[in-house]
Amino acid sequence: MTVKRRVTRKVRVGSVIIGGDAPVVVQTMAATKTRDYEATAASVAKLSKFGAGIVRVAVDTPQDAKALAEIRKRVDANLSVDLQENFRLAENVAPNVDKIRYNPGKIGFLEPELSWEKKVEYLVDVAKEYDCALRVGINSGSLDPEKLREYREKLGHNDADPAPASDDATFFDPPIRSALEHVDFLESIGFDRYVVSIKDSDPETVLMLNRRFAALKPFVPLHLGVTEAGAPPRGILKTRAALEPLLAEGIGETLRVSLTVVADQKEQEVAAGKTLLENVANGAVASIADLNKTGLNIVSCPGCSRTESSRFVELAHKIDDATEFARPYPLTVAVMGCRVNGPGESDDADVGMWCGGDRVNLKSGGTSVGTFSYEEVVEKAVELLKEKISSMK
């Protein structure tokens, strides 16, 4: 199958090019604690050798930033850093990375008195000084609160309601609005070394959002992914259903397959990404129709250095097994490992779990049920799910 890819602007990230006529770049993210620089350096080296063109790490504290400098000394890889609330760490990490990812939905957290435009100007100045690219990384689980509030008001929803589903009549526009706002601002200040990602845990929403953005901004390179796709093999099928049609349409310059696996098995993400590209090249393109859209949907994040307990991955797999009885029912169960998308995704689920160090926050339709140990929460979650199924009959 010959895919006619759109031709976007080229963006250099270390030794690789994203966009233009360059091959699609497969990315992944280290899940070791960044401050454990020896373990993280070993993970980055392994993933890079396995074929990851870019490896991302998370930095939340000055200690993480110091560890990143040690990681850079130890590995020859294209590094991307993930900044969430603390945008000021950019100047500490920029000397040791090739790309900085910021989240428009989280950039308002620190120094709320400062406009987001001033914060982005700061990030651009740092990126220029240290020869870094930027990624504008938008996730539906951590959207700009103001845009989400305006959208819910427009549709007559209140803040306690889950985000409405995407369809042609009520298109889920906050991610697109946020992306366009930041792209237009970056262009207005003369910075063009950036890529955009617009992700969601629902494959159909990922398709719609990226098609829409690609039509509006055809020159901007897109990083594709389904957030919280879940454990393999289901997580791989979800990602295929979203990304393969986009790639077959020529949309997407770089991608990540986000799987719920332990830190030393992250090469599974790289392998899945490579296979996905091979599928598209061979014409074996999955579709949304391949998913059971009417049955149980399990959302679980891939884990990263922000995950407070590695037991989160084990819990996600236990939930996957324990909810087999609920497969025919149109319900969503979320198992989330950190604070970034955890609150949003667990609120939007029928049964949501947001995992801490030794306790798990359990929610029912966004309402807190309580906190439970990792040993207790599976049974409690199953009870909630059975109650919801009973109410549907």
When pLDDT is averaged across residues 271-281 and rounded to a whole number, the result is 97
Lowest mean pLDDT: which of 62-76, 140-154, 214-228, 229-243?
Answer: 140-154
Confidence check: pLDDT of 165 > 80: no
Mean pLDDT of 163-186: 74
What does each C-alpha distance from 360 to 55, 140, 168 come to in angstroms? Answer: 29, 22, 36
pLDDT at 169 over 50: no
User: Are the beta carbons of 58 and 40 closer than 8 angstroms?
Assistant: no
Residue 43: pLDDT band by 50, 70, 90 thresholds? Answer: very high
SS (H, E, C) the chain: CCCCCCCCCCEEECCEEECCCCCCEEEEECCCCCCCHHHHHHHHHHHHHHCCCEEEEECCCHHHHHHHHHHHHHCCCCEEEEECCCHHHHHHHHHHCCEEEECCCCCCCCCCCCCHHHHHHHHHHHHHHCCCEEEEEEEHHHCCHHHHHHHHHHCCCCCCCCCCCCCCCCCCCHHHHHHHHHHHHHHHCCCCCEEEEEEECCHHHHHHHHHHHHHHCCCCCEEECECCEECCCHHHHHHHHHHHHHHHCCCCCEEECCECCCHHHCHHHHHHHHHHHHHHHCCCCCCHHHCCCCCCEEEECCCCCCCCCCHHHHHHHHHHHHCHHHCCCCCEEEEECCCCCHHHHHHHCCEEEEECCCEEEEEECCEEEEEEEHHHHHHHHHHHHHHHHHHHC
Q: Which CATH number goes with the domain that contains 368? A: 3.30.413.10
The answer to whether residues 73 and 172 belong to one domain is: yes
Tell whether 301 and 238 lie within a shared domain: no
- CA-CA distance, 303 to 266, in Å (whole number)? 10
- pLDDT tens sequence across 119-133: 999 999 999 999 999
pLDDT band at 371 (very low <50, low <70, confident <90, very high): very high
Q: Which of 225, 199, 390, 226 is nearest to 297 (CA)?
A: 226
Of 231, 258, 290, which residue sits at a domain end? 290
Calculate ∠ Cα 307-336-206, nearest 5°: 115
List all residues 6 or more positions away from 239 whose beta carbon is below 8 Å from its beta carbon: 203, 225, 226, 229, 257, 258, 272, 276
Q: What's the average model confidence in pLDDT over 152-169?
A: 54
pLDDT tens readout for residues 185-225: 999 999 999 999 999 989 999 999 999 999 999 999 999 99
Residues 388, 273, single domain; the answer is no
> Same structural domain for residues 215 and 270?
yes
Residues 209-240: b if buried by 16+ CB within 10 A, e if exposed: bbebbbeebeebbbbbbbbbbbbbebbbbbbb
Domain boundary among 245, 269, 290: 290
Q: How many residues does the chain have?
A: 393
- The number of folded domains in the chain is 2
| Statement: residue 171 has pLDDT above 60 | no
Q: Which pLDDT score is estimated for 158? A: 54
| CA-based max dimension of the chain | 61
Amino acid at 68: L
Residue 5: inside a domain: no
β-strands 332-336, 297-300: how paired?
parallel
Instruction: Specify whether 183 is located in the same domain as 168.
Output: yes
Answer yes or no: do 94 and 191 share one domain.
yes
Q: Residue 6 domain-assigned? A: no
Inform me whether the pLDDT recorded for 256 exceeds 90.
yes
Residue 2 lies in a domain: no
**Same domain membership, residue 374 and residue 248:** no
Report yes or no: 223 and 27 within 8 Å, Cβ to Cβ.
Answer: yes
Are both 119 and 251 inside the same structural domain?
yes
pLDDT of residue 341: 57
Whether the per-residue pLDDT at 342 is higher than 70: the answer is no
Q: How much is the pLDDT for 356?
A: 82
Paired residues of 335 in beta bridges = 300, 353
Mean pLDDT of 330-340: 82
% of the chain exceeding 90 in pLDDT = 65
pLDDT, tens digit, for every residue of 218-252?
A: 999 999 999 888 889 989 999 999 999 999 999 99
Query: Which pLDDT tens digit goes with each residue over 86-96?
Result: 899 999 999 99
pLDDT of residue 392: 85
- CATH at 286: 3.20.20.20
User: What pLDDT shows up at residue 80?
Assistant: 97
In terms of pLDDT, which residue wins out, 303 or 64? 64
State the chain's mean pLDDT as an integer. Answer: 89
Examine the domain organization and report whether 258 and 317 are in the same domain. no
**Whole-number pLDDT of residue 1:** 64
Q: Worst-scoring range by mean pLDDT, 15-24, 120-129, 175-184, 312-321?
A: 312-321
Provide the domain limits for residue 256: 11-290
- What pLDDT does 87 receive? 93
**Is 190 in the same domain as 268?**
yes
The pLDDT of residue 150: 81
| Residue 382 domain flag | yes
Residue 4 inside a domain? The answer is: no
Q: Is there a domain that residue 81 lies in?
A: yes
Q: Last residue of a domain, which of 260, 290, 320?
A: 290
